[in-house]
């Protein structure tokens, strides 16, 4: 069968609650126009309410995804928050509703399997990894969780001019010594895990025409900041056969890169994100309590990330720059990616994202993307093609 043409849209982190269908109003035309639609499902869901999961975390809340989304990645840091029940029930719901899934499973073998979607004679594969932890969310041979790129934690002195690298004097590291001062913990990918990832990519590429590598990676709420490990993972993915690399987790847009003719979307930010429980104004019901104002968590969140959520966005309490979002869009012709694109979006005050073309709001998001891409030292360029941005 001849390879045909199609469009593929990949949205960022997605978390919805009950009665959230209205949040899709600004993206429904985009989803309806695409042949394949994919997102990162940020959290697990269970079939019935539990002490840890209210109505917004039951699989009933996932109903708006049916008919709108064809494939989800599950390799987020929250995927094991509800334990084995959350993993099992989320996977079961996806299977029953015809949505392919990858990156999460009841065993490591299941979590590591690629997901495939086929349209117009073109077979698209997706692999997904958790590259941020926590390690308790990583699947094993006997427990559920996510596929992962393992890492080694090292502590480097804050006063080092380049804290991302170890000292050149390797001999001194072989001797025991005492260090004083403040240290910053950094994660370094485990070489054995990188080899395993490379093999998975090469094997999956042999089974499809186009392969997307998804990584849950990056520094949360940090404008333009890109870690060395992110570049390493992304380049290795392309070197071993990935046609496109997509990242989310930071809940803020990150820059774009072209590497060996392949696009790397380092951070798409959020797609549909309903999280009123993180807002300083939240008064919702919590299990075993009458109400919750979330004051302690909000205070810690401000101290940890250095920003105060905008009270005008009560269900979207993220960094002020996080209102700028985007979807990756792949234009596929004759079974190959002909163009890498971005679809700019802006989050409205009620928390719903809205697609914007080459208008004032769309240009503001495009300018923001250009700025953070340059600040991160990345090489991608953006140009308008109608109401979408071509990544070059």
Give the pLDDT of residue 98.
98
Sign of CA dihedral 216, 121, 91, 29: positive
This prediction has a pTM of: 0.91
| CB contact set of 318 (below 8 Å; sequence gap of 6+) | 221, 251, 252, 270, 273, 309
Kindly indicate the confidence band of residue 160, based on its pLDDT and cuts at 50, 70 and 90: low
Q: The tokens of 107 are what?
A: 């065993």
**What tokens were used for 87?**
């993993």
Q: What is the mean pLDDT of the chain?
A: 90
* pLDDT attached to residue 286: 45
User: What was the pLDDT predicted at 303?
Assistant: 80
Confidence at residue 187, expressed as pLDDT on a 0 to 100 scale: 80
The yes-or-no verdict on residue 177 having pLDDT over 90 is no
Greater model confidence, 275 or 250: 250
Q: What is the pLDDT of residues 252-268, one digit of tens each?
A: 999 999 999 999 999 99
Q: How far apart are CA 48 and CA 57, in angstroms?
A: 9
Core vs surface per residue 96-121: b (16+ CB within 10 A) or e:
eeebbbbbbbbebebbbbbbbbebee
Q: Percent of the chain beyond pLDDT 90?
A: 78
Three-state DSSP class for residue 221: coil
pLDDT, position 290: 46
pLDDT surpassing 70 at residue 297:
no
Strand ranges inside the chain, DSSP E? 6-15, 36-41, 71-73, 100-102, 104-105, 115-119, 122-130, 145-146, 151-157, 183-189, 210-216, 244-248, 254-259, 262-267, 270-273, 324-333, 336-347, 353-355, 382-385, 388-391
Residue 89 — very low, low, confident or very high, per pLDDT cuts 50/70/90? Answer: very high
Q: Convert the pLDDT of each residue in 29-87 to its tens digit.
A: 999 999 999 999 999 999 999 988 999 999 999 999 999 999 999 999 999 999 999 99
- The DSSP output letter for 81 is T
Token pair of 338 as six digits: 């002909």
- In 3D space, the residue among 312, 325, 319 whose CA is nearest the CA of residue 220 turns out to be 319
Structural domains of the chain sorted by starting position, each given as residue range(s) with its CATH number in brackets: 6-150+190-275+315-391 (3.60.21.10), 154-189 (no CATH)
Residue among 15, 7, 62, 9 at smallest CA distance from 249: 15
Within a 10 A sphere around the Cβ of 127, how many other Cβ atoms?
A: 26
Q: Tokens standing for 12?
A: 């960022």
pLDDT tops 80 at residue 174? no
């Amino acid at each position: 069968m001849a390879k045909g043409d199609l469009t593929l849209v990949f949205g960022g982190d997605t978390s919805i609650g009950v009665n959230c269908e209205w949040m899709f109003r600004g993206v429904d035309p985009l989803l309806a126009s695409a042949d394949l639609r994919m997102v990162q499902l940020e959290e697990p869901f269970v079939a019935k309410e539990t002490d840890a999961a209210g109505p917004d975390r039951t699989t009933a809340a996932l109903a708006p995804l049916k008919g709108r989304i064809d494939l989800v990645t599950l390799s987020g840091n929250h995927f094991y928050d509800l334990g084995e029940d959350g993993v099992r029930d989320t996977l079961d719901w996806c299977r029953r509703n015809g949505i392919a899934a990858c990156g999460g499973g009841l065993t490591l073998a299941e979590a590591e399997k690629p997901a495939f979607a086929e349209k117009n004679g073109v077979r698209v594969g997706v692999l997904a990894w958790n590259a941020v932890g926590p390690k308790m969310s990583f699947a094993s041979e006997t427990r559920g969780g996510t596929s992962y790129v393992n890492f080694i934690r090292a502590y480097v002195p804050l006063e080092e001019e380049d804290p991302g690298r170890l000292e050149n004097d390797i001999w001194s590291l072989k001797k025991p010594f005492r260090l004083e001062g403040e240290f910053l913990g950094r994660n370094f990918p485990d070489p054995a895990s990188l080899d395993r990832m490379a093999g998975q990519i090469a094997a999956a590429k042999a089974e499809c025409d186009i392969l997307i590598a998804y990584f849950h990676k990056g520094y949360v709420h940090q404008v333009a900041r890109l870690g060395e490990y992110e570049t390493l993972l992304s380049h290795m993915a392309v070197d071993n056969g990935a046609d496109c690399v997509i990242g989310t987790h930071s809940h803020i847009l990150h820059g774009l890169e072209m590497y060996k003719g392949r696009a790397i979307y380092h951070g798409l930010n959020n797609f549909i994100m309903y999280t009123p429980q993180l807002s300083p104004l939240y008064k919702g019901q919590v299990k075993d309590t009458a109400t919750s104002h979330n004051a302690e968590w909000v205070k810690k969140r401000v101290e940890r990330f250095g920003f105060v959520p905008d009270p005008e966005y009560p269900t979207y309490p993220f960094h002020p720059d996080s209102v700028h979002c985007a979807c990756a869009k792949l234009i596929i012709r004759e079974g190959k990616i002909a163009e890498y694109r971005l679809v700019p979006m802006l989050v409205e005050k009620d928390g719903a994202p809205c697609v914007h073309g080459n208008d004032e709001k769309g240009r503001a998001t495009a300018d923001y993307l250009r700025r953070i891409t340059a600040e991160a030292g990345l090489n991608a360029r953006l140009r308008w093609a109608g109401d979408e941005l071509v990544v070059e």
